[in-house]
Chains A and B, each alone.
Chain A
């Protein structure tokens, strides 16, 4: 095969319809030029790094938005008649937090932490004292139970709501 014929067969990309492996580069007989190879390698590494950073940033941002890290509070008391405690959203200390009560892992009731708790404001958690919650059992419970209270956080225009436990679980024996 003459040199011209070899070159013609190699440079099939220009026409696109001929048989054979199309050469993707103008200098395909020697592979990629070192400069182009270095540039492409840098480009691949930069793009993958950017993707990785984007995923990490998105994960941190989404977690922070969905799981609001600024709730402070405590489940102070639980007995056969009621569950009591307090919660403050430190990012918006003047706002009232929605709370949900679960007993033995089952949803019981929801409400708002808007009951007077002068001790909370006295300790500097909030400018006002309306951050307490009280759930009353009617009829009163009997037997041994575990109570948990969760703060409700709405994000993404209220389309996503997450629960975060306030304090720790409270085990009580309702005799």
Chain B
């Protein structure tokens, strides 16, 4: 029997078993991250890197083995440079708008301080975040979850919205951060579906986080705390 096609693209829709499997892969990754955010911090405290290492290692190994099982190369996932310019071009206007908007808000509220970082760390932490933390989060979000979501529901706003919603879910119960990550998730998921480049998205992630922190009081963002840690001091 001929499998159905996406009428917009005339491309074969993956079999339902593959879509279900992709959904379970997303569930597995989200579950590991939620365990790290909620269970580890609740039971082992926030000063227990060994306990935190387990779910983080598990999810990273899982994603790598999944790529291998599906025959996905690093380039396909988005670790590449050839489309960096295209991704940067797609990101430029929305990022410029958001940066100007937040700078104006920060300036208007006398909260603009580009040397403020995580409640006191120096500006030197920003490049480190841009180069490590941003791409790492974008790899998990786009290189894995976005790709699996596209298998489930195809390319387009449904999958973009789902990726953004998952990203926001992982930042609960911090309300403003969840809202900001939902908006950022929409942009990054949209750009990734057009120009899959983890490096450009990671730098964008770090830059927007820096601007957000620099223009909004730390108390409003609750020092970017998420999960169980949100309720701590």
- List residues of chain A with CB under 8 Å of any chain B CB: 1, 6, 9-10, 13-14, 16-17, 19-29, 31-32, 36-37, 39-41, 43-44, 47-48, 50-51, 54-55, 58-59, 61-62, 156, 159-160
Contact = CB atoms under 8 A, between A and B. Distances in A.
A159 B39 CA distance: 18
Interface of A is mostly: helix
Contacts of B83: 16-17
Contact of B35 (A31, A55, A61): A55
16 contacts: A1-B10, A16-B196, A16-B197, A22-B196, A24-B76, A24-B151, A31-B17, A32-B14, A36-B71, A40-B70, A43-B65, A43-B66, A44-B21, A55-B35, A59-B39, A62-B44
A35 B66 CA distance: 13
Interface string B55-93: 100110010011001111000100010010010000000
Interface residues of B, number: 49
Interface of B is mostly: helix
Contacts of B12: 10, 28-29
Nearest to A16: B196
B70 A43 contact: no
Interface in B33-61: 35, 39-40, 43-45, 47, 51, 54-55, 58-59
Contacts of B17: 31-32, 37
Given A21-B6, A22-B155, A32-B70, 17 more contacts: A10-B11, A16-B80, A21-B9, A22-B193, A22-B196, A25-B71, A32-B17, A37-B18, A40-B21, A43-B69, A47-B58, A48-B31, A51-B55, A51-B58, A55-B39, A58-B51, A62-B43
Contacts of B155: 20-22
